Amino acid sequence: MLNIAIIGCGVIAQHHLRGLAKLTTARAAAVCDIRPEIAEKTAAEFGVARWETDAAKLFADPAIDAVILALPAVARTTLALEAFKHGKHVLTEKPVAMNAAEVRTMLAAQGDLVGACCSSRYQSFASAKAAREYIRSGGLGKIRTITCRAATKPGDAPSPNPPVWRLRRDLNGGGIFVNWGCYDVDYLLSMVDFKLTPQYALARTWQVPAAFSAYAAAGSDAETHITGLVTFAEGCVLTYERAEFSSLPAESIWQICGDRGALNLQMLKAKSANIVLTEPNPGTGTVTRVLWEGDESTSTLEHEGITADFAAAILEKRKPMTSLQDALLFARIADAFYASADSGQPVSFE
């Protein structure tokens, strides 16, 4: 039985606690939050025997095998380094870190411990597994384009207390791209096992427009709309656009195209989720068929799948769905997108 401690007792921690409660191989041995009333309340609500306000006590405890860092990005890397130093496996929330340099420091400290990132949230669905297996089999041939274009409709009314960290570059590393792009890019790049070498990036970002200013906390300086492009040495291109609090109509497209076919994907759980394959057909130009279909709307795998995979990776001594090395690729793309948007120029990867 693995003893796992959760650091940070916000909303996302509750998903991890529910996931751990369903496992027979791991348990929540402790929770920690700098707010004692929140830590104590969380422990009582989920039946966790121990709560702390100082994470160092949990890192120093040999009975704790692993930690889940469920708190804002600005605080996570320091805690991850301490956890690795004390021999703890680490699952970090998304985005993986504030920047690629922080991910590299974690990788240098990781050793043979498991390091994982929650950006893998949508890899657990059966639809994703079917698509990934088809691509791995060579069904699409040589990959040409990897595409995401997604816009969400603003809520009917803004929250009276929007999270301060969510659109702050100094607290979260960025805005919509690190908040949702980490999921989009993880989902798409996992289809090709993260085996891509980025070359150049070009991006533009926009902050919340005046019409939706009430939806963002005071002091927000990160983007709510981004569009960008990355070229890879392997000959393919990632094109990306995502927006919230914008005038764009709501839509979601995730797509991978190769020289032998193209897949239209469904990242988010849906009642009529399906993976659609389009292939060349000399008689009609192309032919389309459903590769996978089903109802994933009631699944809880986007949260519980991560926790279960983390525990299994530790016990089986294997790579998790998204390792820190995998997540580094997203962090590098994020750094390049923001550098390009800030400078107004394309940038090259080191």
Q: Computed over its alpha carbons, how large is the radius of gyration of the chain?
A: 20
Residue 160 has pLDDT above 90, yes or no: no
Q: Are strands 2-7 and 66-69 parallel, antiparallel or unpaired?
A: parallel
Query: How many helices (H) and strands (E) are present in the chain, helices listed first?
Result: 11, 15
Q: At 302, is the pLDDT very low, low, confident or very high (cuts 50, 70, 90)?
A: confident
CA distance 116 to 91: 5
Lookup result for tokens 């107004």:
344
Say if CB 276 and CB 289 are below 8 A apart: yes
Q: Where in the chain is the domain with CATH 3.30.360.10?
A: 126-298+330-348
Burial letters 17-44, b for 16+ CB under 10 A, else e: bebbeebeebbbbbbbbeeeebbbebbe
Say if CB 12 and CB 73 are below 8 A apart: no
Residue 114 has pLDDT above 80, yes or no: yes
CA distance 277 to 257: 10
CATH topology of domain 126-298+330-348: Dihydrodipicolinate Reductase; domain 2 (3.30.360)
Q: What is the mean pLDDT of residues 175-186?
A: 95
Question: 224-277: per-residue pLDDT in tens?
Answer: 999 999 999 999 999 999 999 999 999 999 999 999 999 999 999 888 878 999
CA distance 198 to 236: 10
Q: What is the mean pLDDT of residues 160-182?
A: 90
Q: At 303, is the pLDDT very low, low, confident or very high (cuts 50, 70, 90)?
A: confident
Q: What does the pLDDT read at residue 163?
A: 84
Q: Where in the chain is the domain with CATH 3.40.50.720?
A: 2-121+304-323
Say if CB 13 and CB 31 are below 8 A apart: yes
CA distance 188 to 342: 25
CA distance 325 to 334: 15
CA triple 234-254-209, angle to 5 deg:
110
CA distance 66 to 153: 38
Tell which phi-psi region holds residue 47, choosing left (phi > 0), alpha (psi between -120 and 50) or beta. Answer: left
Q: Which of 82, 70, 74 has its CA nearest to residue 46?
A: 70
Q: What does the pLDDT read at residue 171?
A: 87
Say if CB 87 and CB 110 are below 8 A apart: no
Secondary-structure class of domain 2-121+304-323 per CATH: alpha beta
